[in-house]
């Protein structure tokens, strides 16, 4: 026993890396599920829900009647709130926040980094008579002037006017963020430049919500439905994520800096047993989930479902849908709360689209629909002929939108992280298409041909006269391979990346559909002038529009090669990566589209194109530098150490035993030495290319192309050899936690 200990001691110098991996595992063994600060067993969700939100209910209790009415009118009907009333609201908000323990406030906004931003101000002020007082005015509420000159603007702001301004968005409620030593009142705001250009993700989203409202109301009106005051977009984003124990995470510079593993051989067991999906949730993970959910309930985020996802250590959370603006804020909050709570539980939450190659990545399924102010879902087939007619018009508008502007939809989800996922046979391909399901497809075909389909449709469809066959409201046989699927009463845009804000994809989606609704409303209005039979008019317009756009419909397997060939025959764009995809934004048609509906003017649109390209280059550059540093300082030395051990083993054996056959040992040594040479070569090549990229092309697109075509393959070459070495080198020497550990031990 004593001897073994001594032995361990002598080898410990050589096995530092394995020791850190081992002590990570020992740490994990010591961990226990962490208790939440809120005792849910004592208070029901209903009591906790929205406790930290300056909600309608809160305002009704605190504001004078006339002010409350004005706020509600602003929320429900988009009527601007009189600035004179803002002081009253501000005061109530301050008192409420202070009574809940808040000491500071911040305008909370979403710059084009894709993250949220905050700059805190205390309520503290001084008066000669009273000394320290707490103050917050209508002016503080309505406008902020953070010196926010370091956010990306894509060239909109010149440095002499670098300031950005934040403006209160009353349609998303203020809330209180808790942290260990205090609380902060957060006021959702938009962020723009002095000239009024949008510098954030929220302003264009709000504009697109307005645009769709206007056009949808026109459609309703021309169809004879006049009782809706507003139409809003509803969104329910399902969020996938990974959880990794913090002890492993901290040993992986790549996870820390890039959010994904740049190295790592495929684990012997991946997801092939399909034993993780919807499996029983481990106690430690469940305690994290419940804790995070409680925090979210306080913030009024209606999280609803939780389950294990397909890949090991992967999970999903889904909320109840809300209007698109609030759903966007709530998804940002969800990601923030999940990250924070995970740390409290000794875990790290990864939202990267592909943290671990070889197993599924993470997406965000953006469930989307339209609802009128009476609560009717406009994409719900309904039961009366009139409801069906209306449904088919809105359905046709979406189909047409995806066909006409699929490239933009694709572009809205184009970034480095999502490139790993789309088309990787676990997520939809980069080709945009619409899945309708068999029954609805038959309806569409019948509309196009004017004849009844074969199966369930026993008669010709006469819009507004006959009812549609009952459409399944939840098509359980839904197609999981489609990027844009109709799921009974909503569309599910499944290609959105897990880490990205849903603001931009929804902005694009809303804009496209607004244009389509505009088109249909105009067509129907025009045809109605000469033909008083509304049903016949609509039937004709739909027939024509569906015929023109039916190439976008596809119910089959989107992963299959057959579809890729078919899609090409149909002329559907296939932008395989970010660099191919982004230029769609600056075509003449796109610029006109975004301008026409006052979503983004040319400068604003171009700035987004630039920021997205820049962000792509920066991401790849960081990954390349990390690959080099980890390859050079962690993997190469480990391989050399092992090579040295093998070499001395061979010499020592030779000197002990003389002329003995050491072919096997020599073969191992040779294989390792070869890989070392290859790794060194690959690192040199990556270094050279990355320097070349650095010197850079002044043209942003060519610069990005260089990263995509040269730097990424060079990174992949380094990884291939490094991952081979991982499977050869003595496990005790390997410094990086392995996939088989990270994905299974937590
Ligand atoms: P799944 O797609 O996993 O079967 P569901 O269909 O129940 O699950 O819902 C998934 C998400 O879709 C949820 O977040 C839900 O709130 C959202 N959702 C449901 N109806 C709508 C709607 N009308 N508009 C937007 N999102 C919706
Ligand atoms: Mg779903």
- Residue by residue, DSSP assigns 365-409 as EEEEEEEETTS-BTTS--SSHHHHHHHHHHHHHHHHHHHHHHHHH
Does 726 sit in the ligand 1 pocket, CB within 6 Å?
A: no
Q: Which ligand 1 atom is the nearest neighbour of the CA of 489? A: 23
Does 234 sit in the ligand 1 pocket, CB within 6 Å?
A: yes
> What's the pLDDT score for residue 141?
92
Q: Which ligand 1 atom is the nearest neighbour of the CA of 367? A: 26
41 Cα–ligand 1 center, Å:
28
- Average pLDDT in the 548-555 region? 97
Q: Which ligand 1 atom is the nearest neighbour of the CA of 318? A: 14
307 Cα–ligand 1 center, Å:
15
Q: Report the chain's mean pLDDT, rounded to a whole number.
A: 91
Instruction: Out of 59-63, 194-198, 539-543, 548-552, pick the least confident.
Output: 194-198
- Average pLDDT in the 685-714 region? 94
Residue of the CA atom closest to atom 13 of ligand 1? 236
Distance CA 589, CA 606 (A): 13
Position 704 pLDDT exceeds 50: yes
SS3 annotation, 198-227: ECECHHHHHHHHHHHHHHHHHHHHHCCCCC
Residue of the CA atom closest to atom 19 of ligand 1? 321
- Average pLDDT in the 135-149 region? 84
Instruction: Out of 28-32, 35-39, 621-625, 646-650, pick the least confident.
Output: 35-39
> What's the pLDDT score for residue 495?
95
pTM of the model: 0.94
Domains along the chain with CATH numbers: 49-200 (3.10.20.70), 209-600 (3.30.590.10), 616-742 (1.20.120.1560)
364 Cα–ligand 1 center, Å:
12
Ligand nearest to the CA of 304: 1
> What's the pLDDT score for residue 36?
83
Residue of the CA atom closest to atom 17 of ligand 1? 236
CA 646, 651, 652, 658: dihedral to nearest 10 degrees? 130
368 Cα–ligand 1 center, Å:
8
Provide DSSP, 453-493.
-SSS--S---TTTSPPPPPPSS-TT--TT-SEEE-SSSEEE
Does 642 sit in the ligand 1 pocket, CB within 6 Å?
A: no
Q: Which ligand 1 atom is the nearest neighbour of the CA of 368? A: 25
- Kindly tell me the burial class for residue 693, based on how many C-beta atoms sit within 10 Å of its own C-beta (0-12, 13-18, 19 or more): buried
What six digits make up the tokens of 741?
């550990």
Q: Which ligand 1 atom is the nearest neighbour of the CA of 474? A: 6
Does 519 sit in the ligand 1 pocket, CB within 6 Å?
A: no
E strands, 479-599, are: 484-486, 491-493
Give the Cβ contact number of residue 566 at 10 Å: 16
Does 107 sit in the ligand 1 pocket, CB within 6 Å?
A: no
DSSP state letter for 262 = S
What six digits make up the tokens of 344?
């409290």
305 Cα–ligand 2 center, Å:
11
Rounded alpha-carbon distances, angstroms, from residue 482 to 173, 309, 396, 425 = 34, 18, 18, 11
Position 45 pLDDT exceeds 90: no
Strands 434-435 and 484-486: parallel
Residue holding tokens 């929220």? 202
- Average pLDDT in the 232-245 region? 98
Alpha carbons within 13 angstroms on the beta-carbon side of residue 288 total: 31
Position 13 pLDDT exceeds 70: no
The helix (run of H) or strand (run of E) holding residue 568 is helix 561-570
Instruction: Out of 163-172, 314-323, 460-469, pick the least confident.
Output: 460-469
- For residues 718 and 682, the answer to whether their CB atoms sit within 8 Å is yes
Of 412, 427, 370, 359, residue with least CA distance to 395: 370
> What's the pLDDT score for residue 72?
93
Residue 4 pLDDT grade (very low, low, confident, very high; cuts 50, 70, 90)? very low
> What's the pLDDT score for residue 10?
41
- For residues 602 and 587, the answer to whether their CB atoms sit within 8 Å is no
> What's the pLDDT score for residue 386?
79
Ligand nearest to the CA of 363: 2
Ligand nearest to the CA of 316: 1
Does 368 sit in the ligand 1 pocket, CB within 6 Å?
A: yes
Position 468 pLDDT exceeds 80: no
Does 285 sit in the ligand 1 pocket, CB within 6 Å?
A: no
> What's the pLDDT score for residue 76?
85
> What's the pLDDT score for residue 158?
64
485 Cα–ligand 2 center, Å:
9
Distance CA 689, CA 684 (A): 9
Does 20 sit in the ligand 1 pocket, CB within 6 Å?
A: no
**For the chain, how are helix, strand and coil distributed in percent, rounded to 5?**
50, 15, 35
Give the Cβ contact number of residue 674 at 10 Å: 12
Q: Could you report the per-residue pLDDT of 366-418, keeping only the tens digit for each?
A: 999 999 999 999 999 888 777 889 999 999 999 999 999 999 999 999 999 99
664 Cα–ligand 1 center, Å:
59
Percent of the chain with pLDDT over 70: 92
- Kindly tell me the burial class for residue 91, based on how many C-beta atoms sit within 10 Å of its own C-beta (0-12, 13-18, 19 or more): middle
Residue holding tokens 């991401």? 619
Largest CA distance in the chain: 105
> What's the pLDDT score for residue 463?
62
Stronger pLDDT, 469 or 388, i.e. the higher one: 388
Does 377 sit in the ligand 1 pocket, CB within 6 Å?
A: yes
Instruction: Out of 517-526, 687-696, 712-721, pick the least confident.
Output: 687-696
Distance CA 404, CA 417 (A): 26
To test the ligand 1 pocket, which listed residue (320, 367, 382) has its Cβ within 8 A of the most ligand atoms? 367
382 Cα–ligand 1 center, Å:
17
To test the ligand 1 pocket, which listed residue (236, 473, 496, 505) has its Cβ within 8 A of the most ligand atoms? 236
- Average pLDDT in the 454-463 region? 49
Position 119 pLDDT exceeds 50: yes
- Average pLDDT in the 447-454 region? 67
- Average pLDDT in the 225-251 region? 96
> What's the pLDDT score for residue 746?
93
The residues that bridge with 377 in the sheet, in sequence order, are 371
The residues that bridge with 148 in the sheet, in sequence order, are none
CA 45, 48, 52, 55: dihedral to nearest 10 degrees? 70
Position 5 pLDDT exceeds 60: no
236 Cα–ligand 1 center, Å:
6
> What's the pLDDT score for residue 96?
97
Position 239 pLDDT exceeds 90: yes
Of 600, 525, 513, 523, residue with least CA distance to 216: 513
> What's the pLDDT score for residue 24?
95
Stronger pLDDT, 275 or 615, i.e. the higher one: 615
> What's the pLDDT score for residue 476?
46
Position 672 pLDDT exceeds 70: yes
493 Cα–ligand 2 center, Å:
9
To test the ligand 1 pocket, which listed residue (239, 321, 491) has its Cβ within 8 A of the most ligand atoms? 321
Position 192 pLDDT exceeds 50: yes
Residue 698 pLDDT grade (very low, low, confident, very high; cuts 50, 70, 90)? confident
Does 490 sit in the ligand 1 pocket, CB within 6 Å?
A: yes
Residue of the CA atom closest to atom 14 of ligand 1? 236
Residue 41 pLDDT grade (very low, low, confident, very high; cuts 50, 70, 90)? low
Position 457 pLDDT exceeds 50: no
- For residues 347 and 746, the answer to whether their CB atoms sit within 8 Å is yes
Q: Which ligand 1 atom is the nearest neighbour of the CA of 379? A: 23
- Average pLDDT in the 473-498 region? 84
Helix (H, G, I), strand (E, B), or coil: what is residue 14?
A: coil
Distance CA 728, CA 333 (A): 43
538 Cα–ligand 2 center, Å:
31
> What's the pLDDT score for residue 530?
94
Stronger pLDDT, 632 or 145, i.e. the higher one: 632
- For residues 503 and 191, the answer to whether their CB atoms sit within 8 Å is no
533: left (phi over 0), alpha (psi -120 to 50) or beta: beta
The helix (run of H) or strand (run of E) holding residue 689 is helix 663-695
> What's the pLDDT score for residue 459?
46
Does 319 sit in the ligand 1 pocket, CB within 6 Å?
A: yes
Position 149 pLDDT exceeds 90: no
- For residues 649 and 665, the answer to whether their CB atoms sit within 8 Å is yes
Does 488 sit in the ligand 1 pocket, CB within 6 Å?
A: no
Of 148-162, 383-397, 451-465, highest mean pLDDT: 383-397
Q: Could you report the per-residue pLDDT of 583-629, keeping only the tens digit for each?
A: 999 999 999 999 999 999 999 999 999 999 999 999 999 999 999 99
Residue 160 pLDDT grade (very low, low, confident, very high; cuts 50, 70, 90)? low
Does 239 sit in the ligand 1 pocket, CB within 6 Å?
A: no
352 contacts: CB under 8 Å, gap ≥ 6: 242, 258, 259, 260, 361, 362, 417, 498, 499
């Amino acid at each position: 026993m004593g001897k073994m200990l001594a032995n361990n001691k002598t080898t410990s110098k050589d096995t530092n890396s394995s020791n850190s991996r081992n002590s990570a595992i020992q740490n994990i063994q010591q961990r226990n599920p962490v208790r939440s600060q809120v005792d849910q067993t004592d208070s029901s969700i209903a009591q906790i829900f929205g406790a930290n939100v300056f909600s309608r209910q809160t305002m009704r209790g605190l504001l004078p009647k006339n002010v409350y009415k004005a706020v509600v009118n602003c929320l429900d009907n988009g009527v601007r709130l009189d600035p004179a009333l803002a002081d009253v609201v501000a005061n109530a908000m301050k008192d409420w926040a202070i009574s809940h323990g808040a000491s500071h406030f911040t305008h909370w906004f979403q710059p084009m980094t894709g993250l949220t931003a905050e700059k805190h101000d205390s309520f503290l002020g001084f008066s000669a008579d009273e000394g320290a007082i707490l103050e917050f005015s209508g002016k503080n509420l309505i406008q902020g002037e953070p010196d926010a000159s370091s956010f990306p603007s894509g060239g909109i702001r010149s440095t002499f006017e670098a300031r950005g301004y934040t403006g209160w968005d009353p349609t998303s409620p203020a809330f209180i963020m808790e942290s260990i030593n205090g609380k902060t009142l957060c006021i959702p705001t938009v962020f723009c430049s002095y000239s009024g250009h949008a510098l954030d993700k929220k302003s264009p989203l709000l504009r697109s919500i307005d645009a769709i409202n206007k056009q949808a109301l026109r459609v309703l009106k021309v169809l004879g439905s006049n009782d809706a005051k507003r139409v809003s977009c509803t969104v329910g984003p399902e969020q996938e994520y990974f959880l990794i124990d913090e002890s492993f995470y901290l040993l992986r510079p790549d996870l820390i800096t890039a959010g994904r593993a740049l190295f790592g051989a495929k684990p012997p067991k991946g997801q092939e047993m399909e034993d993780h999906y919807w499996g029983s949730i481990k106690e430690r993970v469940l305690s994290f989930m419940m804790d995070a959910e409680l925090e979210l309930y306080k913030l009024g985020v209606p999280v609803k479902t939780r389950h294990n996802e397909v890949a090991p250590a992967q999970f999903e959370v889904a909320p109840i849908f809300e209007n698109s603006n609030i759903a966007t804020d709530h998804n940002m909050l969800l990601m923030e709360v999940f990250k924070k709570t995970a740390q409290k539980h000794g875990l790290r939450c990864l939202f990267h689209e592909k943290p671990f190659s070889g197993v599924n990545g993470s997406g965000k399924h953006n469930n989307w629909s339209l609802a009128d102010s009476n609560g009717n879902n406009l994409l719900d087939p309904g039961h009366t002929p009139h409801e069906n007619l209306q449904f088919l018009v809105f359905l046709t508008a979406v189909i047409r939108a995806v066909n006409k502007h699929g490239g933009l939809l694709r572009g809205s989800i184009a970034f480095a992280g999502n490139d790993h996922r789309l088309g990787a046979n676990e997520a939809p391909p980069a080709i945009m298409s619409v899945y309708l399901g068999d029954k609805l497809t038959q309806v569409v075909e019948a509309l196009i041909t004017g004849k009844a389909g074969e199966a369930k449709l026993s008669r010709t469809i006469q819009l507004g006269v006959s009812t549609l066959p009952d459409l399944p409201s939840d098509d359980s046989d839904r197609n999981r391979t489609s990027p844009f699927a109709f799921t009974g009463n909503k569309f599910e845009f499944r290609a959105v990346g897990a880490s990205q804000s849903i603001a931009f994809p929804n902005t694009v989606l809303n804009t496209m559909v607004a244009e389509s609704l505009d088109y249909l409303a105009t067509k129907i209005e025009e045809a109605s002038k000469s033909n008083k039979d509304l049903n016949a008019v609509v039937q004709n317009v739909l027939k024509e529009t569906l015929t023109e756009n039916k190439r976008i419909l596809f119910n089959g397997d989107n992963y299959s090669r057959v579809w890729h060939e078919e899609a090409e025959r149909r002329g559907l764009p296939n932008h395989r990566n970010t660099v191919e995809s982004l230029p769609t934004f600056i075509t003449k048609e796109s610029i006109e589209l975004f301008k026409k509906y006052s979503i983004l003017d040319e400068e604003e649109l171009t700035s987004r194109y630039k920021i997205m390209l820049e962000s792509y280059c920066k991401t790849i550059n960081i990954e390349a530098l990390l690959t080099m540093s980890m390859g050079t300082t962690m993997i190469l030395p480990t391989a050399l150490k092992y090579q040295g051990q093998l070499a001395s083993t061979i010499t020592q054996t030779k000197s002990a035993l003389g002329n003995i056959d050491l072919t096997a040992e020599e073969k191992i040594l040779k294989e390792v030495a070869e890989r070392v040479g290859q790794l060194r070569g690959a690192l040199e090549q990556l270094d050279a290319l990355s320097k070349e990229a650095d010197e850079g092309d002044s043209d942003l697109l060519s610069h990005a192309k260089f990263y995509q075509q040269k730097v990424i393959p060079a990174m992949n070459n380094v990884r291939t050899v490094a991952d081979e070495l991982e499977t050869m080198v003595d496990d005790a020497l390997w410094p990086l936690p392995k996939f088989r550990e990270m994905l299974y031990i937590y």
